[in-house]
């Protein structure tokens, strides 16, 4: 298993995949550990988790350039991921006791009735390279707090992040077997999912792999939390603050080179401000600097691999062949000598929904912009996708935004914001964007099984 840096194609590290014996041994260790861990108080679980997250935060200076090396995000941005990881983890620890305590029903003479949330056993976390610490911790911490043991399988591109998680939990003194990582290939991952010793699977990644995970879990009746692809739309109302909206949408589309399930991929603009908004958006995109992401001044790094860059370029070229118009001359970005993983940003007009760019996930620095005449047309196009993860509305009218949001087929509606993540709110999507929820109190419902007690006093 080889990690190739998208920055320059260099070999970062090599690892041998786990053998069948190692996989079996990890599952058995987790089973043994979970018999004890489930009895550990929530307060004590919180102590271990806080120590681990604190250890992670102290290593930010070391972790930030490592994230950049592994997947290409500019080093000026990578420390923010550790901060977001810390905030989300701390919130999930803070609320655990409130949402994991027994639920006592209305008193009844001679009978004691209550419901208890019990852990599912072993939680398998399959984490992506796109947000390697935030997404992993958002699954790991609630699973541990709920009394489950965790096995982390990280993306091959970010195997070192899995090893760092093991290190910080070891530093925190977490009992042996409660948290483990495994470096496994896709075939062994599917076998892990179908193993009866697994109680819960969380996965963040492409929808096609989500389908494979559902098939592997078929007949096991285990819980799945799937955070899959997105084709996130933005709608710019006629009253939107022009320049601030354009700047925020550009940032929301180009963060992480568009390789984020939070990213805006398509923009619908009311015809009254279309021309002015387009000019502002193009001007903002042109300010992004595509260069070596290790340089502090770089605002746009490479795609995660040459293959990913080629896939996005293929979709871009197909849209242009169908009539889309590029707004940015490619000579604007001096990418010719940077390497095959580097892809300049682009804004396209004259796009429509016959193009895959507007209805499928792009996962790259390409923004399609389409004029609409009214709210009804915008809603129609925003819903015209296989995905439903997030939608953003840009306006000064909160009541109107909420009314439109209620008609959108999406897991989240944001107003004048695109990339923000709030751990008090559930993260999840509809349609091919997945099922289940991470973060908020709803995550604990995914990670536990309700057991009912009806005790009649003789």
pLDDT at 30: 98
- Least confident range of 23-37, 111-125, 330-344: 330-344
Residue ranges covered by each domain of the chain: 2-228+433-456, 232-423
The string of pLDDT tens digits covering residues 150-173 is 999 999 999 999 999 999 999 999
The string of pLDDT tens digits covering residues 187-244 is 999 999 999 999 999 999 999 999 999 999 999 999 999 999 999 999 999 999 999 9
Tokens of 395: 């306006």
Cβ atoms 294, 68 nearer than 8 A = yes
With 0.85 as the threshold, say if the pTM is over it.
Answer: yes
Tokens of 263: 């990213």
* Residue range 2-228+433-456, CATH number: 3.40.605.10
The CA distance from 13 to 208, in Å, is: 27
Strand 412-415, strand 448-456: pairing: unpaired
Tokens of 255: 């963060």
pLDDT at 420: 86
Burial of 297 (0-12, 13-18, 19+ CB in 10 A): exposed
CATH for 232-423, options being 3.40.190.10, 3.40.190.80, 3.40.309.10, 3.40.50.2300: 3.40.309.10
Mean predicted lDDT score pLDDT of the chain: 96
In three-state secondary structure terms, 12 is: strand
The string of pLDDT tens digits covering residues 210-222 is 999 999 999 999 9
The CA distance from 99 to 358, in Å, is: 40
pLDDT at 337: 63
Task: For 35-67, give one letter per residue: b (16+ CB within 10 A) or e.
Answer: eebbeeebeebbebbbbbbebbbeebeebbebb
Average pLDDT over residues 15-23: 98
As a residue count, the chain comes to 458
* Extended strands (E) in 128-231: 149-154, 179-181, 198-204, 223-227
Cβ atoms 436, 276 nearer than 8 A = no
Give the H or E element holding residue 94.
Answer: helix 78-100
pLDDT at 331: 53
HSE-CB at 166 with a 13 A cutoff on CA atoms is: 15
pLDDT at 419: 84
Report which of 226, 133, 142 is spatially closest to residue 440, judged by C-alpha positions: 142
pLDDT bin (cut points 50, 70, 90) of residue 458 is confident
pLDDT at 74: 98
Residue 37 confidence (pLDDT) above 90: yes
Tokens of 170: 């070891």
User: ∠ CA(429), CA(432), CA(435), 5° rounding?
Assistant: 45
pLDDT at 107: 86
Residue 311 confidence (pLDDT) above 60: yes
The string of pLDDT tens digits covering residues 261-272 is 999 999 999 999
pLDDT at 338: 87
Average pLDDT over residues 356-383: 97
pLDDT at 446: 95
């Amino acid at each position: 298993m080889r990690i190739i840096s998208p920055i320059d194609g260099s070999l970062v590290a090599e690892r041998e995949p786990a053998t069948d014996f190692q996989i079996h041994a990890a599952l058995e260790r987790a089973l043994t550990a979970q018999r004890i861990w489930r009895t550990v108080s929530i307060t004590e679980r919180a102590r271990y988790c806080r120590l681990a997250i604190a250890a992670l935060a102290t290593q930010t200076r070391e972790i930030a350039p490592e994230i950049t090396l592994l997947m290409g995000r500019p080093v000026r941005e990578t420390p923010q991921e550790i901060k977001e990881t810390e905030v989300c983890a701390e919130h999930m620890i803070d609320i655990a006791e409130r949402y994991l305590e027994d639920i006592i029903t209305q008193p009844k003479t001679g009978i004691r009735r209550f419901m208890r949330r019990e852990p599912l056993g072993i939680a398998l976390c399959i984490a992506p390279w796109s947000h390697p610490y935030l997404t992993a911790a958002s699954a790991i911490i609630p699973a541990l707090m709920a009394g489950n043991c965790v096995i982390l399988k990280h993306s091959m591109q970010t195997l070192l992040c899995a090893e760092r998680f093991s290190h910080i939990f070891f530093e925190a003194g977490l009992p042996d077997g409660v948290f483990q990582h495994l470096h496994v290939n896709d075939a062994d991952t599917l076998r892990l999912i179908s193993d009866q010793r697994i109680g819960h699977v969380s996965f963040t990644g492409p929808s096609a792999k989500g389908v494979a995970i559902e098939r592997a879990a078929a007949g096991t009746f285990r819980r799945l939390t799937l955070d899959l692809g997105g084709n996130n739309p933005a709608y710019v109302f006629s009253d939107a603050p022009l320049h601030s909206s354009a700047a925020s949408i550009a940032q929301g589309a180009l963060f992480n080179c568009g390789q984020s399930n939070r990213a805006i991929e398509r923009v619908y603009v009311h015809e009254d401000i279309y021309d002015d908004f387009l000019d502002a958006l193009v001007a903002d995109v042109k300010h992004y600097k595509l260069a070596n992401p290790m340089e502090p001044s770089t605002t746009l790094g490479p795609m995660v691999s040459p293959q990913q860059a080629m896939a996005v370029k293929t979709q871009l070229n197909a849209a242009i062949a169908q009539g889309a118009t590029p707004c940015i001359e490619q000579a604007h970005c001096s990418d010719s000598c940077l390497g095959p993983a580097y892809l300049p940003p682009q804004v396209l007009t004259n796009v429509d929904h016959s193009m895959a760019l507007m209805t499928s996930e792009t996962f790259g620095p390409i923004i399609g912009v389409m004029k609409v005449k009214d709210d009804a047309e915008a809603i129609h196009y925003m819903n015209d996708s296989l995905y439903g993860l997030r939608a953003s509305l840009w306006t000064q009218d909160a009541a109107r935004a909420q009314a439109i949001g209620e008609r959108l087929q999406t897991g989240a509606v944001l107003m004048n914001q695109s990339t923000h993540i709030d751990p008090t709110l559930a993260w999840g999507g509809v349609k091919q964007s997945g099922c289940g929820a991470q973060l908020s109190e709803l995550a604990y419902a995914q990670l536990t099984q309700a057991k009912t007690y009806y005790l009649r006093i003789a």
